[in-house]
């Protein structure tokens, strides 16, 4: 099994309309889904790409909605000891947003924020079997992780020091600052890179992680986003390696991104 400690490995959409979101992403990204843990309260749907399960879709909890939460995608980072990691990350400049607690039959989790304010979750699964990560650029899975950092320098130091991520090249984006490539696997070559960190753009309302789901043909996916009631915010734009990306919002307003090729459907 893949060692998922310190790596994003599960992605979760909290939304105002789970069934509509499942239909939208099923068409755009090609996911299948299955209910899980309905006896725990609101139904939770596990979504799967070409290499198996990758995340879940659920309704925004009532207490979160009362606090003003709107639809959003969150990511879970693997942890060997959630309580110890929460304490360690807090001491390193992060913040505990929700203290560690158990999810029956799933594992133990905590909600954290990095020094700049972007939220992520820690999770240690209860199953001793664990799970394997998908191969690079597997259709339907996350092919890239992008942080719009509230404090670029502190956030970069936080993730590299606390999770052991490696730094790759940094690209100069002019007035937008530097785009720092990072690898969650520790490799330094371009093919090892799994994401990037950049200063928070003025168009973004708050620091956040953005996840890029892999599709076949980016142009086909763009048309499906529009036809399904989503909105394309940026792109398609070509990126190093020959891929194309877009940033978008789904019909309920959650921001997401896609990466794919042209003419590859």
Domains of the chain: 8-125 (3.10.180.10), 142-261 (3.10.180.10)
pLDDT for res 129? 63
Report the distance separating Cα 144 and Cα 79, nearest Å: 20
Q: What is the pLDDT along the chain (265 residues), one digit of tens a residue?
A: 578 899 999 999 999 999 999 999 999 999 999 998 655 556 899 999 999 999 999 999 888 788 888 999 999 999 999 999 999 999 999 999 999 999 888 899 999 999 999 999 999 988 766 677 788 889 999 999 999 999 999 999 999 999 999 999 999 988 888 999 999 987 777 788 999 999 999 888 899 999 999 999 999 999 999 999 999 999 999 998 889 999 999 999 999 999 999 976 5
Query: In the chain, what are the helix, strand and coil shares in percent, each to the nearest 5?
Result: 20, 45, 35
- pLDDT value at residue 41: 56
Cα distances (Å, whole numbers) of residue 71 to 55, 237, 264: 15, 25, 30
Q: By CB neighbour count within 10 A (0-12 exposed, 13-18 middle, 19+ buried), where does 164 fall? A: middle
User: What is the phi/psi pair of residue 56, to 5°?
Assistant: -145, 160
Helix, strand, or coil (residue 66): helix
CB atoms under 10 Å from CB of 240, counted, come to 10
Q: Assess contact for 156 and 180: CB atoms under 8 A.
A: yes
Question: CB–CB of 229/152 below 8 Å?
Answer: no
- Closest residue by Cα to residue 60 from 110, 14, 13: 14
What pLDDT does 69 receive? 87
Per-residue pLDDT at 186: 75
Kind of pairing, strands 44-49 and 32-36? antiparallel
pLDDT digits (tens, 9 = 90+) for 89-114: 999 999 999 999 998 888 999 999 99
> Which DSSP category does 60 fall into?
P
pLDDT digits (tens, 9 = 90+) for 177-191: 899 999 998 777 778
**pLDDT, position 52:** 95
Three-class SS of 94-152: CEEEEEEEEECCCEEEEEEECCCCCEEEEEEECCCCCCCCCCCCCCCCEEEEEEEECCH
Residues 6+ apart with CB under 8 A from 8: 75, 76, 77, 120, 142, 145, 184, 211
- For residue 105, the model assigns a pLDDT of 83
- Evaluate whether 265 touches 220 at the Cβ level (below 8 Å): yes
Beta bridge partners of residue 13, listed in sequence order? 57, 73
């Amino acid at each position: 099994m893949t060692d998922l400690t310190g790596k994003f490995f599960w992605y979760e959409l909290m939304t105002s309309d789970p069934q509509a979101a499942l239909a939208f992403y099923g068409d755009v990204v090609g996911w299948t889904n299955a209910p899980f843990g309905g006896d725990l309260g609101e139904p939770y749907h596990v979504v799967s790409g070409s290499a198996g399960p990758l995340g879940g879709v659920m309704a925004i909890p009532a207490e979160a909605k009362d606090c003003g939460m709107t639809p959003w995608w969150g990511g879970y980072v693997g942890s060997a000891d959630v309580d110890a990691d929460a304490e360690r990350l807090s001491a390193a400049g992060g913040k505990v947003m929700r203290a560690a607690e158990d999810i029956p039959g799933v594992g133990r989790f905590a909600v954290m924020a990095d020094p700049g304010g972007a939220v992520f979750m820690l999770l240690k699964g209860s199953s001793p079997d664990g799970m394997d990560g998908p191969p690079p650029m597997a259709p339907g899975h996350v092919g890239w992780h992008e942080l719009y950092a509230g404090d670029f320098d502190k956030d970069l130091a936080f993730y590299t020091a606390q999770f052991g991520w490696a730094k790759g090249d940094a690209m100069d984006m002019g007035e937008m600052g530097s785009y720092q490539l990072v690898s969650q696997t520790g490799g330094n070559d371009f093919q090892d890179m799994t994401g990037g960190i950049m200063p928070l753009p003025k168009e973004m309302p708050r620091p956040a992680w953005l996840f890029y789901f892999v599709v076949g043909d980016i142009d086909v996916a763009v048309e499906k986003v529009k036809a399904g009631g989503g909105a394309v915010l940026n792109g398609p734009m070509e990126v190093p390696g020959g891929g194309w990306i877009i940033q978008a919002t789904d019909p309920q307003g959650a921001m997401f991104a896609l990466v794919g090729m042209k003419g590859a459907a």
